[in-house]
Each structure stands twice: as C-alpha cells, then as structure tokens.
Structure 1
Amino acid sequence: MTFSSHGIGISTTRQVAIGAAFLLQRGPLDIAPRLIPEEMVEAEVERFRKALNTARDRLRAVRQHLPTGTAEDISSFIDTHLLMLDDSAISQAPIELIRTHQYAAEWALQRRRNELVRVFDEMDDPYLRTRRDDVEHVVGQIQIALQQGTGRDEAPSDLTNHIVVARDLTPADIIMLKNRGVIAFVTEYGGPLSHTAILARSLGIAAVLGVHHASQLLRSGETLIVDGEAGVVLADPTREILQHYQQRIIAQAAREAELRRNLDLPAITRDGQRILLLANIELPEDITATLANRADGVGLFRTEFLYMNRTTPPSEEEQLETYLSAVHGLNGAPLTIRTLDLGADKTIECSDPNCPPSNNPALGLRAIRLCLKEPDLFLPQLRAILRASAEGQVRLMIPMLSCIAELQETLALLEQTKQELSREGLRFNATMPVGGMIEIPAAAIAAASFARQLDFLSIGTNDLIQYTLAVDRMDESVNYLFDPLHPSVLQLIQMTIHAANNAGIPISMCGEMAGDPLFTQLLLGMGLRELSMQPGALLETRQVVRASDLPRLTRQAQAFLQQMHSKPAATLFAELFH
C-alpha cells in the first residue's frame, strides 16, 4: 500500500524524482563532559589538531572533485567551511579550553560549539540564523574525526538513481552524493533557507525537507517518489501513481530543455513590456551564475558574509576590494549593495560590554538600527560602497527602515561621508542612487513618505510576511501560517507599489516571493516591473514573463485584490491565475 509523508518541498527545475531509497544513518553524536589528567593535555591538543586536519582534508577532497563548470555558489559552501576550520574560533579556542580546564577534546569543541550556536540563534534574520548550520556541520566533521580518526562516509561510491533519506546533510555530503548519482533528498530537518534547500535549488535536485521520522518510516531499497513542488514523499507507489509521476518527469525534462533554448531571449511580455530580472547574491563569485542565467544585474548583494566568522569587522579596503570584484564581474550591469543586515548578535550590536542580550531578537537591534547605533561599524561600509560607485552602476539599499527619522539620519551620514571622500580626493559617484527596503508593516504604510526621499524601493517579502503575520517561517510549529497570499500582506505590497509609482521611482521585490514562478503573474498584474531572485529561478521566471499579457494580468490582479476577503485566497488565486 502506498505510504505518503509530507514536508517542505524545494521547487527546482527537476521537481519530481523516482528512485530507490538509500538510508544514510547519521545520528547526532553524544558528547558527554569529560576531563583528562594534566599529563595528557598536550597529547589531547595534538589529537584535536589531527582531527582538524582530517576534517580539512576531507573537505578539500570534495572541493577537488567538483565537476568542471560547477557554479561558484555551490563550491563556495565548501570554501566557507574550509575557512571556518582555519578560524581561531574553531581551530584555537578548543585548544585553550583543553589547556586551561583539562577538557577532553570532544568536550572542549562541544563547549565552543554551544557558544557559537547561541550567537547565531540570537540573530533575527532567518537567512543569517540558518548560518548556524555552518557551525554545526564544521564541528560535526571534527567530532567524527575525533571519535573515529577519519571522516565518516557510509555511502557507497555508486548511488545512481537513488534517493537519499537522512536526518540532515552537510553541503559536503550533498555535493558528494550528487556526484555519486543521487537524484533527490529527503531529510528530517531543514527549512526553506537551509543549506540543503539552497544547494538543492542550485543543483536542480528534487528535495523534501522536514519530514519527521523519515529514517524510521522509510526503508532502504523501496521505491520512492519525491515531489518537490507539493512537498510530498510517496513510498511503495501503485502502478497508476508511478505512471502519473513518470509522465511528469518526461514533461519536466522537456520543460527544462525549452528553458535552456530560450536562455538568450529577453524578458518581454506579449504586449511588449520589458521586465527587469535581477539576481540576489551573497558572494562576488555568485556573479558567474548571475551572468550564466542572463540576469539584468544584481538587485540584492548581501554583505553580511564579510562580517561573519571573525572577531573584528572588515576594513574599508577589504570591503572595497569585494565590491569592486562584483562591479567588474557584472560588466556594467547594475549592482545593488544592501548595507549590513546582521541581527541581534550582541558582540556586534553593542560596544558596551555590559549590554544585555536581546529578549526578543525579532524586534531588537538589527540592520539599520544597529548601523546607526554603531557608526564606527557603519561608516567604513558607506565609504567602501561610495568608492566602488566610481567604477560602475552601484546602488545603495538600506534594510529594515521603520521611520523617516532613520532614513534622514542615514542620508546625513551618507552626505558626511561624501564630504570626507571629497576632501581626501577619493573618487565616487555623487549621484549614486539610494533606496530602501520595505520589509516591515510600518514602512509599507509609510511608503509614500519614503518614496519622496529615495531613488528606489525594494520589497523584502521574507520579513514583511513574518512581521505582518507574527510567524517565524523557520519555526516548524507555525510555518504553515507563513502565507504570501494573505490579504494583509498583499495590501501592504500594493500600497508600496502605488507609493513608488506615484513618486515616479523604480520599485522591485527581492524576497523569496519574487523568485517563485507561481506568483510571477500576480506580481506583474499588481504593477511590479523588477523582480530579484536567486540565480537558479531566473530561467523559469523569464519564461512566465514572456507568456504574460500585462493588461489581462492587471485586470485579474485587480479582481483578486477586490475579492480576496470573500473566499479563501488560495482558492481565488487558483481560479484567476491557473
């Protein structure tokens, strides 16, 4: 009898996969407190260093075996973990604990892991909070080496047409398994912003995450169907179900081939309206995927990676080098740099050593609030962005604006920075466009006021939905309430679009909603003409744009907004747009 289980579907170009299950049994390591005799301290330090080298060698081996032409955004996951292995927070701090407290290596590393995870858990930004996965994965590799002496790898070398079922997967696991022929993943943990989700999208692998007790419910060798679009895993399917999904696989292969054939066609609607399709990136190396998918530029360059996994902020020159690398890589296309958007990490947010931790990071000191409170942190970034603007189409974007006072204070700091650069004889674009992110309800309601003082607006739907509905989408107990089609969310989006249009300034959307082809026609009908998304979503979105007729979509969107309170939004949406 067919057994079905549900989780979080990760939609990629390959939304469905059929294959034999392979259970990768990797339970959490049980690390108990343990002390060692004083005479064994240096031997324990050496054992830790050996484990560190083992973990490093394993990651380097994975890095070296990446297929030629692999996108940089995929290899950067491994590079990030290699850098973390060299960071003193992981490579040296446990040694100090071994020497000062006579901890066993495993317990010293676990204590350090707990401290680092606590910092990431206090961050509000869902994207940044999931970066705790980096800590977990890197520490896990060292712990395995400490307990076994070598990196653990239970998977056979050939897993062609298999679907891996696991508690969780590291980036190294995912890349290694993909190279061994794995066509899909099912995990018990993970959310839409986890490493597994990001890599599944980048690699075009079907995946369903957050399937509780998957390792106990599914058996190795049985036939599985993974539907990444619906978030469903089917075990032991009937002949009829199997035939249905086999037809879907044939159709999705034809669809993917069509998307690639149309790669160089412009994003122009059937009635002749050009739509700008931009990319969201995190590293300069992501420019490769951005250009490969024919983006019109970068609508969101996250800068937080520059500040993470280090004890001191990056210098102005280090930031400038990073920004210029992206500017030159884009060959004249626009680059929108978002200023620092860290969450409630108290070691960065507050220079006062007695500053208490935030009781509620989601409503605490983050993004522009943090930058204005800590100008010594903010001003070097403003200088670097302005200097980079002399070399290309750079735009500066301010995150999490909530009131006009914040905007005015930021603009005053920007003007002050321009004057300093002029006195120093350093080049910059004096008319560099400055925009703001509309990602909290207060900003959407006041969008008209922001629009009068800014050069562009960008809607950040991830936080806008979270704050409007009081739902943390990374919390499995409530993420079913995270609804982009909620009438209140759509009203705030519509208000923001109208405010920008009335002010005669461009407006884009850079949240996850912008990269979901399911919503493209609705957003076009609501008036958006710029969408920014992860590079892998560009091909499908371009195809939807080219098949769209804006006058018809405008009428449908208006009907949807007028009627969305009279029946369930999802039902009405399906009637009007599908």
Structure 2
Amino acid sequence: MPLSAAASAREILTGLHEIMAGRGSAQSKLDKVVDLIADAMESEVCSIYLLRDNKLELYATHGLRKEAVHVTRLGMGEGLVGTIAAEGRILNLAEAADHPAFAYRPETGEESFHSFAGVPIVRLESPIGVLAVQHVEPRRYEEVEIEALQTVAMVLSEMIAAARLVDGARRGRIRSSGPLRLSGLKLVSGMAKGEAVFHQPRVIVEHTVADDVEAERDRVYSAFRKMREQIDAMTKDAEFGTAGEHQEILETYKMFAYDEGWSRRINEAIDSGLTAEAAIERVQQRTRARMQDIDDPLLKDRMHDLEDLSNRLLRIVSGRFGTAAQTGLARDTVLIARNLGPAELLEYDRRRLKAVVLEEGSLTAHMTIVARAMGVPVVGRIPDIRHSVEESEQILVDGDNGSVIIRPSRALLSGFEHRLATRQKKRAEFEAVRNLPAVTLDGVPVSVMVNAGLAEDAANLDPSGADGIGLFRTEFQFLVSATLPGRERQQRLYTKVLAAAGDKPVIFRTVDIGGDKALPYLTDIRDEAENPSMGWRALRLSLDRSTLMKAQARALIEACGGKTLRVMFPMISEPWEFDEARALFEEQVAWARKGHRKLPSRIDFGAMLEVPALAEVLDQLLPKIDFLSIGTNDLTQFLFAADRGDPRLAERYDWLSPAILRFLRRVSTQAREAGVPVRVCGEMGGRPLEAMALIGIGIEQFSITPAAVGPLKAMVRSLDSGKIRIRMEQLLDRPPANMRKTLGEWARRHKVATD
C-alpha cells in the first residue's frame, strides 16, 4: 500500500478516470474498477454491492467467485455489508467472522479471507451501495487505506447514479399524499403552523475528479476566506442584549471556522485528485462516520457545528449560496433541516420563522440554546423528515409533546388551531396575572422565582413577573464554552447577572458538571460510570478539583462586592460536604479581604437536597445553613431508582406519588421547625397541580422556568391554602389509589386554576 492516502487515491483516481472515459457498459466498467482497486491496495478481494429492490446485490468482484455476482443479495442491516449500508458506518475488522453481524455466504468462497474493510457508497446523503476489500491475513487497515476507499466510493457514486444502476427510492418512509403524523424529541416548547421550507437545497457534487489540483486548492482557499468573513460578521451582528453565553457559542463556532486541522484535511483530499466540492464532501462524510462512534452528546453537538460549516463552505465553493435565509421567507415558515448551526439560525427573519424541525438535534446543542432564547419551537430526532415533506406543504408543530403533522386534513387543522387558540388565550390570561402578587385567597404569600443559566434570563426577570432567580445554573457557561472559563470570565457573567436582576435576589448554584455533563476540554473528569448522574459530579467533583471551585468562589465574591451573595451547593449527601464547601468559600473571602477587594455585604449559604440520604441527617445540617433548596428532578429519580432520561420510565413514577409527597412533607416540616426557609427548585414546582399539592404540605417558595410563572400565579391566586392543607393531611394519611386524579377533582370542585 502506498505511504499516503493522497498518493494511493491519486493512483486509483487516474485509473478510474480512464475507465469512466472509455467505452463499454456500466457492468464492464465496474469489473475493471474492482480489479484496479485490488491491484492498487494489494488486496486479494475487492467487491462492490449496489442497492437494488431494497437488497444489496453483489455487482462486481475481484477475488470472490464470479458466479456469485448478481446472485448474492443481502438485506439492509444483514451481514457486514448490510450493516455498513443501513448505518452509513465504516467497518475495519482484523477478523471479520468475529463481528456479530457477520453472515457467511458459501457461494462467494470468502471463507479463506479474514480481514475486512468496507465503506458506504453515498448519494444525496443516503447509502446506495458498499465498497469492500478483504485480505487473507488478519489485519486492521490503516487510516490512509480507509480514506482512499472513501475517495473511490465518492467517484463511484457519480458513475453509478449516471448509469442508473441503483434504486431511485431512498431509505425510510415512502411518501404519501395524505396526512402524516411524526413524533420526535421536544427541544424547545411551543406550538406553530407554517409552510415547509428547506433550510438549504442539497449541493450535489457532480464532478469529483480534478483536472487541475492547484486551481481546486485556490478555490478552496477563496471559499475559506469568504466563509470566515461571513462568520466574523455574524458574530458582530448577533443581537442578544446581555446574553454573553450566546456570544461564546458563536466564538466556539468561529473557532471551528479557523481550525487548521479541518482545512488541512480538505487540502489532503484535493491532493488525492478530488475537486474542491468532492474534497469537502469527503471530509464531511468522514466526520459523519466518526460521529457514529461518539457517545458524548456535547462532542456530538460540536461535530454538528463542524458539519454546519462544511455545508456553508460547500455552498460557497460551488457558487450556490441560496439558503432559505438568503432568499428570504415570504410567509409563516416551518424550517426543515438535517441539522442546523447557531449562526445559520440567526440569519432568519424572526417574524416569519415559526418553528424548526430537524432530523437530528439535541437538548444541549448550541442551536437549541439559541432557539430557546429566540422563542422558536423546535422538534428534533425525526428521521427522514426532509424526505417526507415537499417544499410549501403545510406543517403543524407541537413542541410541547414533540410531534409534527404534515399535510393535515381539515379536521386535524381545525383541532390544532383550536388548541393553539386555547393556548394563546391561556397565555394572555397568564400575562394578565404575571405581575400581580402571588397571594392565596386566604392571604398567604407565595414566593415565585425562576431558574436561569444565561445572562439574558436575568435581563428578562422583570417582564417574567418573578421575585428573583432561585437557581442560577453556573455550569451553563462551562457547557457552551470551547475552553474552561477563567475567573475573570466567570466574574463578568456574574456581575452582568446581578446588574440585570437589580434589587431582586439571585441564588447561584456552584457548578454541577461531571457525570452526564461532560466537558470536552476537561477529559480527566469525564465519568465513564454506567450511572453518570449518580457518579463523580457536582460538589463531589468540585471538592476534589478545589482549584476549579476556588476560582468560582473568587469570581462570585468579587462580583457581589457590596451586595448579598447567595450561594448553594448541589448534590450534598452528608453535612461534612457542606462544611468543606463553605470553608473553601470562607478561605476565598479571607483572600479577598487580604487583597483589599470589596467584599459582599453578607453571604447566605444554602444546600440542595437531591440525595435522599441527606434527609436522614437534616438535624445536623439545618443549624449550619441559611436556606434549603429541594431539587425535585434528581431527588425523584434517586428515590425511585429510575433514570429520568429513560423514556420507558418517564411516565411510570408520578410526582404526585404519596412516597414523594410524604418525603417532602417531612423535610418541609423539619426545616420550618428549625426556622430555615425551604424552596422547591425543579420542574415539579412549575406544574400547577403539583405546586398546589406542595403548598398543601407547607412549601411556599418555588423556583421554576419563566414560562411557568403565569400559570403558577394563577393557581396560587385561586387557591385557599388552609383548605388544601387539611385535604393533603387526609390524603397522605390514607392515600387514594390515584392521587393525581383525586387532587385534580378537588381542584375542579374548588375552582383552582390548575389546567
């Protein structure tokens, strides 16, 4: 095998060019191609399988029995070849028979071959075949060999498509003309309707073999310059007010645009003889293949940013600039895309962009964070959405339950519009009470604060009608940053948040990273445990990595100079952990005093009760703390030993279970007797019926999402707290079979606004 991918691929490409330019049938050309590749790679076997009638048919081979050609057929997902095609995955195996998907076909005579490498032949992002090589001796193929195979597969896809050798149908659903309901992942809540608009028409690489390598390199250099200019302009023009995190997202995106490794790989592909477009596409295909093997969701999100940039570069180099953002949105639009980068989302007219539907997407993606700030509903994880809908067809998007309806019937449209109108009417009602005090009918005041994690959340505090920020998630700054935020950066954020909040209190939670919130730039704290949410995370990690916590403590102390600093520690299991965390903060106060820095006027220290064990030692902890916050999301999964991220368990364990309510009543009673304020910080408190039950067990302070403030206040202002307390005592002493149903009926009888 030649020493470089470029040299081996160039040798093969030269031969391919001659074969394709010559005379002969498509079959004869493919026969020559497998001989060429086998010779160049010194491989005993080279085979091409093509997708025909939804089966992968052995179409040409060098080394296997010729009588197996057009006879051996594999289903999608069947055998090694079927696995490559079904998953779009590269396989590189020293011993093919050891792979669980291995399927032996005796007619091929392949029993004497051990090693196997295969790459998908891709057209319009869908595999249309597989190119595979085999050797007698067991060996893993070098990276340069795999890249050479990918280059050849790209050229083959052009020839195969031109000769019409494969099915025209894509993988996935067959499009119908009637209504189609699809379910996905709810990324940003909200309801919207509009016409389908594709984010970008797919750039089809028509010419793969370069006539002049240097000319192609110049085209790529020019495209890189233009793309970087665009990203620089976007970074400057993004309008997010005080939202510093969004600026950091775009800076991360910009970092990829200037990444030398990425541009080097594209240049190496051009060296192998590819056109500029084909080189970008080859590197992009390799990125997609690598994403298949990445389990870390944060790293996957950053790979999506890189794919977004690849698409942008491909459009520039091909002269096809027209995304839907550039051509403009003429009417209310539901944007359809495989994935979307944050910068591309910012290009759209927010007056027309009503929703986004993605084939991929995740809750932690940069684009999701930006869309949430823009108030645009997003549904993700809908495979083949781009192949299920046509441009300008009507789509209904329900981001509250993660569903979309394509081509709705009149009845479906009417029902959706009725729900949308009801939702808008409810929102108007909630708007009317949002700035009114949260006081029950019998005069009990209820504190309604919000959870936040971005600087703009503090800027929107007054419009939300909340009393303050009951939980500021400081880890958001770490999660959206390309590098570890230093003390100065942290201090700037905290200062900005406090200034925006004004006289309203802000409670900062120290970083809850580690476990399932891995940071790509801190590889030594990555938790490989099977249950990361119960692993090395939050305060456990912070106490171990004390320099990380010291930097945050100093940033908070300096940001709160002259003001009250309210800080709480997450994931406390035993009182000694709180003691160590508080001592660390007090050491930094001494450091600040020694340096003549302005100190906070006072510091309130709080603890988060998320680990059930802490409830058994509250008598030791309560005298030491100024307030207690209950994190109901983690607490619930720990109480029930049920992963809240597992859809099989999501509906099984109810927040209105007597087990949870009895647990919380005991904690609330103990804290009240000790004179320590207790607040619920979690999704449970943002649901009116659940909040009604919590008030019934003595909890009168909440920190919830901003969108839940109006509904919660409406419930509080329609509730008699004395009556619900009496009823909750009765229900918890003798729990009914269905607590949710019983409480719902009580709320309706007493006209409490819980719907």
The TM-score bracket by the shorter chain reads 0.7 to 0.9
Could you tell me how far 1:375 is from its partner in structure 2? 1.6
- Superposed CA RMSD in Å reads 4.4
Q: Which amino acid aligns with 1:148?
A: R
Trace 1:204-353 onto structure 2 (pairs within 5 A): 204-211=375-382, 213-308=384-479, 313-344=484-515, 345=518
Counterpart Cα distance in 1 of 2:711 and 2:526 = 46
Could you tell me how far 1:454 is from its partner in structure 2? 1.3
In structure 2, what is the equivalent of residue 17 of structure 1? 192
- Judged with a 3 Å threshold, the aligned counterparts in structure 2 of structure 1 residues 258 and 507 are, in CA distance, closer, same or farther, namely same
Q: 2:305 matched to 1:138?
A: yes
Counterpart Cα distance in 2 of 1:11 and 1:175 = 16
Counterpart Cα distance in 1 of 2:486 and 2:232 = 30
In structure 1, what is the equivalent of residue 228 of structure 2? 53
In structure 2, what is the equivalent of residue 544 of structure 1? 715
- Judged with a 3 Å threshold, the aligned counterparts in structure 2 of structure 1 residues 295 and 310 are, in CA distance, closer, same or farther, namely closer
Q: Deviation digits for residues 66-108 of structure 1, max 9, x if unmatched?
A: 6xxx6655x953x233211344897355467789999977777
Q: Which amino acid aligns with 2:541?
A: L
In structure 2, what is the equivalent of residue 148 of structure 1? 315
Could you tell me how far 1:396 is from its partner in structure 2? 0.8
Q: 2:256 matched to 1:81?
A: no
Trace 1:55-134 onto structure 2 (pairs within 5 A): 56-57=231-232, 59-60=234-235, 63=237, 77=246, 79-87=247-255, 91-92=259-260, 94=262, 131-132=298-299, 134=301
TM-score (norm 1): 0.78
Counterpart Cα distance in 2 of 1:113 and 1:385 = 41
Q: Which amino acid aligns with 1:91?
A: D
Could you tell me how far 1:574 is from its partner in structure 2? 3.8
Q: 2:509 matched to 1:509?
A: no
Unaligned runs of 5+ in 1: 31-36, 123-128
Moved more, 361-370 or 162-171: 162-171
In structure 1, what is the equivalent of residue 631 of structure 2? 460
TM-score (norm 2): 0.62
Counterpart Cα distance in 2 of 1:349 and 1:20 = 43
Moved more, 554-563 or 336-345: 554-563
- Judged with a 3 Å threshold, the aligned counterparts in structure 2 of structure 1 residues 217 and 43 are, in CA distance, closer, same or farther, namely closer
- Judged with a 3 Å threshold, the aligned counterparts in structure 2 of structure 1 residues 176 and 476 are, in CA distance, closer, same or farther, namely farther
Q: Residue 242 of structure 2 contacts residue 459 of structure 2 at CA under 8 Å; is this kept in 1?
A: yes
Q: Deviation digits for residues 9-40 of structure 1, max 9, x if unmatched?
A: 5785xx5434444455789999xxxxxx9999
Q: 2:528 matched to 1:358?
A: yes
Q: Residue 332 of structure 1 contacts residue 392 of structure 1 at CA under 8 Å; is this kept in 2?
A: no
Q: Deviation digits for residues 141-164 of structure 1, max 9, x if unmatched?
A: 221133332666246522523434
Moved more, 233-242 or 385-394: 233-242
Q: 2:576 matched to 1:408?
A: no
Unaligned runs of 5+ in 2: 1-177, 206-211, 273-278, 749-755
For the residue of structure 2 that corresponds to 1:400, the secondary structure is: coil
Moved more, 151-160 or 21-30: 21-30
Counterpart Cα distance in 1 of 2:746 and 2:395 = 34
For the residue of structure 1 that corresponds to 2:397, the secondary structure is: strand
Could you tell me how far 1:341 is from its partner in structure 2? 1.7
- Judged with a 3 Å threshold, the aligned counterparts in structure 2 of structure 1 residues 452 and 208 are, in CA distance, closer, same or farther, namely same
Question: Which structure: larger Rg?
Answer: 2
- Judged with a 3 Å threshold, the aligned counterparts in structure 2 of structure 1 residues 413 and 230 are, in CA distance, closer, same or farther, namely closer
In structure 2, what is the equivalent of residue 126 of structure 1? none
Moved more, 227-236 or 44-53: 44-53
Q: Residue 133 of structure 1 contacts residue 195 of structure 1 at CA under 8 Å; is this kept in 2?
A: no
Trace 1:522-541 onto structure 2 (pairs within 5 A): 522-541=693-712
Could you tell me how far 1:48 is from its partner in structure 2? 8.1
In structure 2, what is the equivalent of residue 373 of structure 1? 544
Count of residue pairs brought into register by the alignment: 552
Q: Residue 508 of structure 2 contacts residue 568 of structure 2 at CA under 8 Å; is this kept in 1?
A: yes
Could you tell me how far 1:433 is from its partner in structure 2? 0.6
For the residue of structure 1 that corresponds to 2:603, the secondary structure is: coil
Corresponding residue to 1:388 among 540, 559, 564: 559
Could you tell me how far 1:312 is from its partner in structure 2? 6.2
Moved more, 106-115 or 200-209: 106-115
Counterpart Cα distance in 2 of 1:237 and 1:358 = 45
- Judged with a 3 Å threshold, the aligned counterparts in structure 2 of structure 1 residues 433 and 115 are, in CA distance, closer, same or farther, namely farther
Q: Residue 208 of structure 1 contacts residue 232 of structure 1 at CA under 8 Å; is this kept in 2?
A: yes
Aligned residues with identical type, % of pairs:
27
In structure 2, what is the equivalent of residue 438 of structure 1? 609
